[in-house]
Amino acid sequence: MIETLVLASFLVSQLPTPEEKFLNLKIQLEKKGFQVVIELPPKRGAYGLLREADKKIWINPVVFELHIGTQTIIHEAVHAAQVCAGKGKIKVLGLNIQPSNYTRPFFMRYTDVHRQDLEREAYAIQTQPNSYELAVSLLHKYCQ
């Protein structure tokens, strides 16, 4: 019994924990009316997913093992700002920031041009050196 408890405690202590910026952004999103859950998204293979109809955001737990948790929630926060700007319908913000070239395959895989534009903005913010600050400012600007 004690060995099992010690082993369980050890295993839990080995799990990657979310970074402070991740946790702070999760709180900001929740204050703006979004529900953020750490579980497998309904779309297979997704690291993060926002369902605009009920403002629910899934964050795949694997992002913490991959050390991309903060980038993933920043990406989804941009989509949240897009939903707020569109008053419940996701819309492009028209940001004057270009994504890095290495992210191009990620948003160009979408055949729908509108979806490409939405993803281009999210990847553009996600890859900036001040991505966290930009995501927070977009939430404050568009989600009242």
- What structural domains does the chain harbor? 15-142 (3.30.2010)
Q: What integer pLDDT is reported at residue 17 of this predicted model?
A: 61
Q: What integer pLDDT is reported at residue 3 of this predicted model?
A: 56
Q: HEC states along 41-90? A: CCCCCCCEEEECCCCEEEECCHHHHCCCHHHHHHHHHHHHHHHHHCCCCC
Tell me the two tokens of residue 103.
């992210």
Q: Report the alpha-carbon distance of residue 125 to residue 48 in Å, rounded.
A: 15
Q: What integer pLDDT is reported at residue 100 of this predicted model?
A: 85
Q: What integer pLDDT is reported at residue 2 of this predicted model?
A: 59
Backbone phi, psi, residue 120, to 5°:
-55, -45
Q: What integer pLDDT is reported at residue 107 of this predicted model?
A: 87
Mean pLDDT by 10 residues, the chain (144 residues): 49 59 97 97 93 96 95 98 96 92 84 91 94 97 94
